[in-house]
Amino acid sequence: MSQQIKSEKLRIFSERFRSALRSSNFQDNEIAEKMGVAPSAISNWRQGLNMAKGKNLRRLAELLNCQPGWLLGGEGSEETGTAGGQTSQGKDVWRQRALTAEKKLAALRTGLRVLLETSADLPRSQGKTTEGSAASLGGAKVLKSEEGSAISRAQE
């Protein structure tokens, strides 16, 4: 990366950091304490000597209520809710999708567990399938067909 590009990135980060810091009403030492970094790191960020990276950038953005990408010079506004086009309603939609996916995954795991339990080596009966030769596993009756394969039916 050329020195000129690096200098521009540092300048933008420094300007946006100072702007977000003013809006937050935090002092340098408060931010340093909350982030677990030296106060000199905050001073260097403010002066444009260094910029926050990785988890420090994410923590800083969270504390200052802004997006990490915005601090680095990305598009969007300073506020978390509007930077990058992400609204609180959009976050709720994704949260709901994640919860739905977790429920579906739990149902799949349960079904797989029952399937694996019913396909285990069960005593094979000769002849037709009868209730008497059924083994009960996890709330389902497992019946043996004439070929010896397991058939699962929910208990009534």
Q: Which two tokens stand for residue 74?
A: 């990305």
**Arithmetic mean of pLDDT, 101-115:** 89
| pLDDT tops 50 at residue 127 | no
> How do residues 32-45 score in pLDDT, each as one tens digit?
999 999 999 999 99
pTM attached to this predicted model: 0.49
CA 86, 88, 94, 95 dihedral sign is positive
Nearest-angstrom CA–CA distance, 140 and 125: 18
CB 21 within 8 A of CB 78: no
Helix (H, G, I), strand (E, B) or coil at 143: strand
Arithmetic mean of pLDDT, 58-84: 77
With beta carbons less than 8 A apart as the criterion, state whether 20 and 73 touch: no
What pLDDT, on a 0 to 100 scale, did the predictor assign at position 83?
A: 40
DSSP E strand stretches across the chain = 135-137, 140-144, 150-154
Q: pLDDT band for position 52 (50/70/90)?
A: very high
pLDDT at site 77: 56
Determine the residue type at 111. Answer: G
Length of the chain, please? 156
Q: What mean pLDDT value characterizes the chain?
A: 76
Domain ranges of the chain: 3-85, 88-154
- Spatial separation of the C-alpha atoms in residues 54 and 52, rounded to whole Å: 7
Q: Which fold has domain 3-85?
A: 434 Repressor (Amino-terminal Domain) (1.10.260)
Mean per-residue pLDDT for 68-88?
Answer: 65
